[in-house]
A and B are shown apart, each in its own frame.
Chain A
């Protein structure tokens, strides 16, 4: 077992990392880096789960780390990167209602509200209160920040990334406040993967009729392999 105080400070540093990646996801206009930052955020969550395991020793945390690593660091970013390669959209510069600057301001306000709300709901449990409280706040904020990405971006692919960020927030909240049963976490991950695969199809044609959709699949080289992509 490692020194608990050291592990705790590592976890806090990882929290800072999660916040930084979330701010980046909210404000960037570059789609390619968006996916890698999402992968980085998930990797940070894996790190947090592993650190938490050295403190608590619950095997569930190891399982969560493993599933998260396999799905959110490897599979999902790979799928999304593949989609992006095919539809050849490199930037997302269209925003509904909120531009990135306003979103950052809003998320600041959100964190403040969550801080106040949680501090009145969650009494300081004995043991290691501040770390767990902080984890809950970061987790919930991540959920709301992801939600903001989902409704402020116009492109479907960024909306999906916002949704994935929300799920990361749920995972973080679950790790620190409630013990989610492992099976639920596993099912969520499967849902996410299906969602991302569906997105691969829907990103190119959610607003078209079926006939047109067929043509689009051809146009985006999703139907007949990728041989003739230059």
Chain B
């Protein structure tokens, strides 16, 4: 491990942590605009998180050690996954960092601990949230694996860093099939971050909540960690989508000015994607739970099609 890579890790992790809450508030802002409201300030999520970090933590009398450690583990797993997806600057990969299979497992680890948190407090809402999350995970994970397999076919590599280098080197999308994959990745982004057709992040209605159900019993800094983890997850997945499909601006050689410019460009691209997600959410109603697989099949269809095209053409 060389100094350059350490620098990359620090910069990338800090950048993800700094940007992630901004996108959450941007989505809220866009949704408010489409409803004719003013909406919260773009920096509202930072204020919320700061407030939660200062608040007292209350544990349910039924909760065990799991509730105490799970938020940290979730955020840690997602932050490690964030190292796998360079936002602005792609160094040469070191060790297993960048491997897409490990990337998926880190997300699965975070998801597992989040589901445990839901069950741990013994509240029926948390259990329901966990049960729904796991049922969805059982359906979406094969789809996610197929999508990443298709990515591996397109770029002939299992490493996200290599994929980014290849896509950064070409001006156009590497192949047109990447557009099909972009749709799949977008659906995965929506599903993994529990946005609207899957789950409504703004309500605490017991009939529908999935993500909110699991973190219902958390308070104070534990809640802040979970919220931050969700925000970072959104940023990481959107960085994956953006840097694969619209890689312009991504730098592969280190220079302070270059990296800063690339970060700024990523900030803008991510803001546009957040706006698209906001509009997408506003134009849709939440889907019925048993209707959700048809959305996943869409992602599955496009990625399998990509594999077929890549293998046979």
Q: A residues touching B (Cβ–Cβ < 8 Å)?
A: 9, 12-13, 15-17, 19-20, 23, 27, 99-101, 104-105, 107-108, 111-112, 115-116, 119, 130, 133-134
Contacts and interface: CB of A to CB of B under 8 A. Distances in A.
Most buried by A among B293, B300, B308: B308
B34 interface: no
Contacts of B293: 101
Report the 6 A-B pairs with minimum CB-CB distance, sorted nearest first. A12-B176, A16-B179, A13-B176, A104-B301, A16-B176, A101-B297
A105 B308 CA distance: 13
Contacts of A101: 293-294, 297
B312 A23 contact: no
Contact of A104 (B172, B173, B177, B298): B298
Contacts, number: 54
B305 A19 contact: yes
Contacts of B207: none
Interface string B264-308: 000000000000000000000000000001100110111011001
> Is the contact region of chain B dominated by helix, strand, or loop, or is it mixed?
helix
Nearest to A26: B301
Interface of B: 172-173, 175-177, 179-180, 183, 293-294, 297-298, 300-302, 304-305, 308-309, 312-313
B180 A19 contact: yes
B131 to A, nearest CB: 22
Given A13-B179, A101-B293, A27 B298 contact: yes
A230 B313 CA distance: 54
A61 B116 CA distance: 61
Contacts of A119: 312
B305 A108 contact: yes
A119 B308 CA distance: 13
Contact of B308 (A12, A27, A104, A108): A108
B302 A23 contact: yes
Contact of A27 (B176, B294, B309): B294
